Amino acid sequence: MRAPTAILLVVLAGCAPEVEPISENVSSRDLRIDVIASDEGSGATAKIELDSVFGLLRLTGGDTLRVTMADAALPLREAETDRGTVYVAEFEALTEDLLVDLQRPNDRDPRQIALVPPPFTLTAAGISGAEPLVIGWDADPGEHELSLGLTGKCILPIARSLAQDVGFYSIAQAELLHTDPGAAARCPLTLTLTRTGTTQSDLNEGLGGWFYARTVQSRTVEVSWSP
């Protein structure tokens, strides 16, 4: 490349027209919709991102986003992050699958369902004597991943994936490794059980675009540990 052309390119690159990340400039076939929804037992949130080659998009040009659960629309608000605009809904509980519907007057209307693992109640009896830690919850053999976590100041944290969602699990005291010789022999523990559902599909029936959803049901209980 000769010097005059290189100079021209530098000048043009320095004052290149700005690309506005708005939805009316992006085809539905060039769009990726990401949904992250979670429920930790005391309220649920769903965050929706409209991603493109121009970054996260803000809805313009008459485009509207609608998220419904059990035929009820969730109230969405626009929020700004360092990556761009996201749409957030805060509601009481994540109980059913989410229907995500992008309505566009001048383009295809993508509509997809984010599968949600069922909610559950987590119970755990305290640990005493030489008894194991017994954990119970509402079983569901669905298409989701199940993981368990146990933490405490006196033990090394435990993190496990459970292959079957059968509703109970136990951890023997021999598996609770102390952090160091100076740590207390016993301490209160925090137990967390998480169901994670993932949905991935073409956004426009094989014509392009992508839909990704990650939905999480998580419950935490405190476990006492006494002699």
Partner 1 sequence: MALVALWAAPAEAQLAVAADPSTEELERAKEERALVEWIRLGLAGFYFRGTKLVGYGSRKPYHGIAGGLDLTVARFPIQSTPWFGFEIDFRFGGVTLDNDDGPDICLEGAALVAPARWRGAWPGSFTLGLGGGVSRARPVWLPTAVQAYPLALARLRLWPSRVVSLHAQWRFTPVTTDLVDDLLVQNHEVEVAVGWKALLVAARCRIDEVTGGDPVRTYRGVGCGPFVGVALYL
Q: What b/e string do you get for 15-49 counting C-beta neighbours within 10 Å, with b at 16 or more?
A: eeeeeebbbbebbbebbbbbbbbbbeeeebebbbb
Contact status: 66 vs partner 1 (CB under 8 A): no
Tell me the per-residue interface mask from 104 to 143 with partner 1, x by CB under 8 A, - otherwise.
--xxx-----------------------------------
Task: Give the 3-state secondary structure of residue 46.
Answer: strand
Q: How far is the CB of 159 from partner 1 (least distance, A)?
A: 40
8 A C-beta contact, residue 225 and residue 156: no
Q: Which residues fall within 8 angstroms of residue 134, CB to CB, at 6 or more apart?
A: 124, 125, 168, 170
Using CB under 8 A, count the residues that bind partner 1. 24
Is residue 73 part of the contact set for partner 1 (CB under 8 A)?
A: no
- The residue from 41, 54, 109, 173 that contacts partner 1 (CB under 8 A) is 54
Among residues 3 and 174, whose Cβ is nearest to partner 1? Answer: 3
DSSP letter for 163, please: S
What whole-number distance in Å separates Cα of residue 33 and Cα of residue 117?
Answer: 20
Interface with partner 1 in residues 16-45 (CB under 8 A): 16-19, 25-30
Restricting to residues 178-207, name those near partner 1 by CB under 8 A: 207
Among 43, 53, 83, 157, binds partner 1 (CB under 8 A): 53
> How much is the CA Rg of the chain, to the nearest whole Å?
24
Nearer to partner 1, 13 or 70 (CB): 13
Q: Which one of 5, 42, 161, 164 is in contact with partner 1 (CB under 8 A)?
A: 5
Q: Beta-carbon neighbour count of residue 137 at 10 Å?
A: 21
Residues at the interface with partner 1 (CB under 8 A): 1, 5, 8-9, 12-13, 16-19, 25-30, 52-54, 106-108, 207-208
